[in-house]
Amino acid sequence: MSALPKEAPRLRPMDIDAIAAIVPIEKAAYEFPWSRGNFVDSLAAGYLMYSLLGNDGETLAYFVAMTGVDEMHLLNITVAPMHQRQGHARRMLDALVALARERFARQLWLEVRASNHRATDIYLRYGFRHIGVRRGYYPAPHGQREDARVMSLDLAGAPRALD
């Protein structure tokens, strides 16, 4: 008996129905998650919103990005906790970079919590540079605020997705 080859996860633009699958992931992944309303508003604003789906249609990851003049701003990228460390963040970044290039963006920007060393390491390995700090950008426990690291990727020098 031979095993069938496993299909690679597939990227799909999000619609309103996809939001139902990502809200529980968002809540499981973050102490201060985006609300359903944040995702609905992003969809209504025309932001780039994509889900990464497994063979069974399960949502593995997603991102939300905003297009600007000559740039793209990554607002949210999340891999479901049970699917982390499987290369999905890289797949999502590759897809986002390809979409940004299609829109002639020259820079990709993002903010990441100063305490999120794992995500920061992923971005640095991908080629992002630390540009600055936004003081008190994120909510933190007990009414406190946490700084964000501002990072940027020069899309002319960014890695190309592997086929």
| Active site residues per annotation | 111, 123
SS (H, E, C) 24-79: HHHHHHCCCCCCHHHHHHHHHCCCEEEEEECCCCCEEEEEEEEEECCEEEEEEEEE
* Buried/exposed 83-115: b ≥16 CB within 10 Å, e otherwise: beeeebbbbbbbbbbebbbeeebebbbbbbbbe
Burial class (CB in 10 A: 0-12, 13-18, 19+), 38: middle
Which residues, in sequence order, are bridge partners of residue 60?
A: none
- Please say whether the beta carbons of 76 and 114 come within 8 A: no
What does the alpha-carbon distance between residue 16 and residue 114 come to, in Å, rounded to a whole number? 31
